[in-house]
Structure 1
Amino acid sequence: MGEMIQLGNGDGGFGAYRSYPEDEIRGALIVIHEIWGLVDHIKEVADRFAAEGYLALAPDLLAAGGLDSAVVGRLGADLADPAKRAQAQPRLREATAPLHAPAAATRIKAALKESFDYLDSAPEGEGRTGVVGYCFGGTYSFALAAAEPRLQAAVPYYGSADLGPEELGRIACPVLAFYGEQDRRLMDGLPALRQRFAETGADFQAHVYPGTGHAFFNDTNPAVYNPAAAEDAWRRTLAFLHEHLE
């Protein structure tokens, strides 16, 4: 169902996983991975969206930001193993440290724009392209919504809205955000975020799942995965996309 393609040119080029629906196309969707990069889990999520009728594109934003996404992905897999976690955590922090540099964020945002333009210029996605992102990808879903007025819908899963008032005020598309109640860092900031969105008049919905933490949707990590929350969030996501992309 899916294949790897190359976007961008020269040093700014990056890979992306593209998954096509088999039948009628309902719209197009950028699927942004977690901090672990474009691992098989995210490709499978893209395939799930394609099975629902959406042309799904999952860009390798770690590679776009100058990181070795394969190395980060292997370290992320080790975190799910209690025996390997203590060794993996400091190595993961070291491997992902370049993401904090402004230059990396600039390259990642440029790759997101390239991804959006690719979908929005295609007949399948013109005027009906949205974004779904997880963790790192949730944060960049907020960023894309602020940067791209043509975006039709944004669905950040447990992402940070690290945006100033002016950036937040530029979000024109509806936003459906998901959180785990035990994800204290994000939950502590959610009341203020709701208020900030209310002041802009934007369509912002936040759904919080009791008894769950960060990354509850990731079924490859049994330490955090919550099947009931994941299934409900998936159902709500599809209903939201159906409303705003089709």
Structure 2
Amino acid sequence: MTERRMAMNDNASAPQAPGNGFAAAAQPVAAQSVIHTDTDGLAAGMATLTVDGQDIPLYHVRPAGQDKLPVMIVVSEIFGLHEHIADVARRFAKQGYLALAPDLFVRQGDPSTIPDINTLMARIIRKVPDAHVMGDLDACVAWAAKNGADVDRLGVNGFCWGGRITWLYAAHNPRVKAAVAWYGKLVADPNPPGQPTHPIHIASSLTVPVLGLYGAKDTGIPVATVEQMIAALGAGTSDSAIVVYPDAGHAFNADYRPTYNAKAARDGFARALAWFREHGAG
């Protein structure tokens, strides 16, 4: 069994793409995003999944003219499917993936219309049942299979709220080859209705290899809970690992916000790509 450890490491958008409305929810934001990934050589657009009668918007992007590609599901932060998340999807597409970014909050509302984070959490985020999210992500995988992708090379990459979902989806779907969870909450008390399980609960039974990327200065996810997760992973059999960046806080990959830490973000993305390839999702 591979040892689990906490590594202290200091080291133009597509037609119809999302991105018109996250500014209010994401305040304060940086003057502009640091990274802009173009669509040169890519085919990108929007599709609609239908899950139990609900339409789910899906941003999809891949290298143009290619199929049988590995699949990367990109799970958003609490701010939903906006231009930064679409840009992350394009980054994966540039690496040879069919990248999919679904709107997982469509049943509850539009995060971009909410003026502050506390209201956003109360009106939308705490009302999103995990079961709906798991079903929506299953629908993404089914869409990928129908559209010429290789779902036997399936990866999941999520941020913040999406980081927690990434841990849970890795436990939900054994077809996932590998996952990377960026600063997803690991422990919560009390649990909102419809969100009964957290990563700490599935750590010892997890079989899919998950790489967790966390910031030591993240006041919302104390290092003590990260250490608790490492211990729980150590009781299981998955080839999972956690890296903690000592100089990074929460949302250190969000290059449109003041929390962005370029050094940690670059290192994290490089580690993510290597992790996916090492474990058969690339």
Give the TM-score normalised by structure 2.
0.74
SS at match of 2:175: coil
CA distance in 1, matches of 2:225, 2:232: 11
Paired position in structure 2 for 1:209: 245
Local SS of the residue matching 1:15 = strand
Q: Which residue of 2 aligns with 1:231?
A: 266
Alpha carbons 2:164, 2:199 under 8 Å: kept: no
Question: Which residue, out of 151, 165, 173, partners 2:208?
Answer: 173
Matched, 1:115 2:150: no
Q: Mapping of 1:53-72 within 5 angstroms?
A: 53-63=96-106, 66-69=107-110, 72=111
Displacement of 1:26 = 4.9
Unaligned runs of 5+ in 1: 76-86
Partner residue of 2:185? 160
DSSP-derived class of the 1:116 partner:
helix
State the AA in 1 paired with 2:217. Answer: Q
Which residue in 1 is equivalent to 2:116?
88
- The 2-side partners of 1:164 and 1:224 are apart by 25
Q: How far apart, CA to CA, are the structure 2 residues paired with 1:163 and 1:156?
A: 10
The SS at the match of 1:13 is: strand
The alignment status of 1:73 with 2:118, answered yes or no, reads no
List gaps (5 residues or longer) in structure 2. 1-42, 187-197
Amino acid at match of 1:5: A
Matches of 1:21 and 1:133, distance apart in 2 = 21
Query: CA 1:89/1:160 → structure 2, altered by over 3 Å: closer, same or farther?
Result: closer
User: C-alpha separation between the residues in 2 aligned to 1:59 and 1:174?
Assistant: 23
Distance in structure 2 (CA, Å) of the matches to 1:243 and 1:26: 16
CA RMSD of aligned residues (A): 2.1
**Higher mean displacement: 178-187 or 35-44:** 178-187
8 Å contact from structure 1 (residues 22, 53) kept in 2: no
Distance in 2, Cα, partners of 1:139 & 1:190: 12
Q: Name segments (4+ residues, structure 1) moved above 3 Å.
A: 22-26, 120-123, 167-170
Offset at 1:157?
0.3
Per-residue deviation, 1:108: 1.7
Q: Is the 8 A contact 1:149 1:171 kept in 2?
A: no
Q: In the alignment, which residue of structure 1 is the partner of 2:16?
A: none
